[in-house]
Amino acid sequence: MNIELTPLSMADIDADIELIIVVDKDTDHRFVKDKKLLKKAAFGAAQDEVCLLVSKKHIYVGADSLTGVDIRSAAANAVRALKGKKYKSLKVATYLNKGCTYTLRAMVEGIILGGYSFEKYKSKPTKQRLKHITISLDEYNKQPMDIDKAALQVHKAQIIADATNFTRDIVNTTPDDCYPAVMADIAKHLAEESGLKCKVLKPKEIKKEKMGALLAVARASRHTPRVIHLSHTPKNPKAVISLIGKGLTYDSGGLSLKPADYMVTMKSDKSGGSAVMGIMKAIAELDLPIEVHGFIGAVENMIGGDAYKPDDVLVAKNGKTIEVRNTDAEGRLVLADVLCYAQQEVKADYILDFATLTGACVVGVGHYTSGVMGNSEAMKKRVVQEALNAGELATALDFNRHLKKTLKSEIADICNISNTRYGGAITAGQFLSEFIDEDHADKWAHVDIAGPAFVEHTWAENPHGASGVGVRMTVKLLEKIAENSAH
Ligand code: BES
Ligand code: ZN
Ligand code: ZN
């Protein structure tokens, strides 16, 4: 989508259709020109409610407020309603919240995110014809605006929304089209396009690095594993950040096989790794003055004669031994080794990992929210805050010493599952904490994205399927780190 900002007033812009956001049901606002028709159509201007007046070339959408969350969702729903229709160009005014240009960023994100649909496997895809968006500086509350500042927000929004859609495409791709070697190819291609560095470890190198836990998970698959390392390394970086993603291109559960209904959608178990790729793409394009490393453990968890088994004891990269009691708790095994590798390769100021790690997280906080864990209150708080600022939902899930004990093994250093059926998101997080070095302990946060990564209905600016969760929140966090850090 091509997005243009212009000082022209709305009346002077030529476009196939005009988008009008009706804020807080204020149908008397000067932007609302079709009062009678809207009344006839029983348009109540509820959040995300859309009314298309074809003959007037106007599309109306309701937003409860001028906050980024409401405007983003409203814009996305309006664009979604135009899908399959013949409009090629759209014009829209500017909506600021108390003069803040952040709402403009949210609106542009909403337009691009709402325009997304995954049609790769449709023999007759429904085209998104909307290509040109013109935004007038005519503002909802007649507030003056600095066009350069506004243009910067539009530019950032485009990069971030495109990166989110890039992540969505990877996650939505089927397991037979996107297996570990393909993940590595996507990373290499991204590196070439965006000026990142990319190193890929194949099985021989992974063995050399002694990633015994990851290799065990990968063993039964015909698709061999890859460990991917992408890096953005500007001169004089203000901070160094490592991002680690769970990239299970398919999770059948292994010998602790998932029931049929639970296996469907497990192509989405690569969402953490795919989010890391999207974040790296955005960071490179924004050229943030921080050093960012993205590590992805790309593995397929399958069954077969060579499969790893419940009762096996694995040796992770840091030498810790793990008793396997359930082969479906594989993500933490892969992450254990990749976390160790990341810490060996890079001394970071912040470490974040993203994983569709537990069904328990979805049970606990629902489909739309990520669970943020770690040893440091400050780190959890910061991550949650920036997620909310970026328009994602996240909440802290606190560790405790009682749950930690439930991971005890009689025969190895630790078990890969807890001995209690409750608190599964937290025990998984506490398992990971065993693979964080002492000097990184308070610099690490674990984000369980099992809920929002893949949802089988549309919600706000997110489509059916992959949402690209993690991209917006992390880019926002990294932008803040880049602004505030003096290395
Ligand atoms: N990939 C799943 C977690 C998951 C479940 C993600 C639902 C998205 C939606 C993970 O590998 C898994 O299977 N976890 C088990 C852990 C259990 C065996 C301790 C789970 O959550 O049931
Ligand atoms: Zn699993
Ligand atoms: Zn999994």
- State pLDDT tens for residues 76-89: 999 999 999 999 99
Sheet strand arrangement including 226-232: 197-201, 226-232, 291-301, 240-251, 350-355, 444-448, 369-373, 393-396
Distance 253 CA to ligand 3 centre (A): 7
Distance CA 281, CA 191 (A): 8
The residue-averaged pLDDT of 272-289 equals 99
- Residue 388 has a pLDDT of 98
- Residue 485 has a pLDDT of 81
Identity (one letter) of the amino acid at 377?
E
Q: Please give the domain boundaries of the chain with CATH numbers for all domains.
A: 2-145 (3.40.220.10), 173-484 (3.40.630.10)
Tens digits of per-residue pLDDT, 290-327?
A: 999 999 999 999 999 999 999 999 999 999 999 999 99
Mean of per-residue pLDDT scores for the chain: 97
- Enzyme catalytic residues: 258, 332
- Residue 487 has a pLDDT of 58
- Residue 99 has a pLDDT of 86
Length of the chain: 487
pLDDT at 402 over 70: yes
Residue of the nearest CA to atom 17 in ligand 1?
329
The pair of structure tokens assigned to 132 is 């040109």
Distance CA 349, CA 376 (A): 13
Identify the sign of the CA torsion 62, 80, 368, 373.
Answer: negative
pLDDT at 486 over 90: no
CB burial string 239-275: b at 16+ within 10 A, e below: bbbbbbbbbbbbbbbbbbebeeeeeebbbbbbbbbbb
The residue-averaged pLDDT of 18-40 equals 97
Whether the pTM exceeds 0.95: the reply is yes
Residue of the nearest CA to atom 13 in ligand 1?
328
CA-wise closest residue to 375 among 418, 334, 429, 321: 429
Distance CA 377, CA 194 (A): 34
Residue in 326, 327, 328, 455 to alter for ligand 1 test, most ligand atoms within 8 A of Cβ: 328
CA-wise closest residue to 406 among 416, 396, 392: 416
- Residue 127 has a pLDDT of 80
CA-wise closest residue to 302 among 365, 225, 367, 205: 225
- Residue 433 has a pLDDT of 98
Distance 330 CA to ligand 3 centre (A): 6
Distance CA 180, CA 184 (A): 6
Tens digits of per-residue pLDDT, 351-375?
A: 999 999 999 999 999 999 999 999 9
In the chain, % of residues over pLDDT 70: 100
- Residue 128 has a pLDDT of 82
Residues around the ion ligand 2 (C-beta < 5 A): 251, 328, 330
The residue-averaged pLDDT of 261-276 equals 99
Range list of H helices, 145-270: 147-172, 180-194, 203-208, 212-218, 260-263
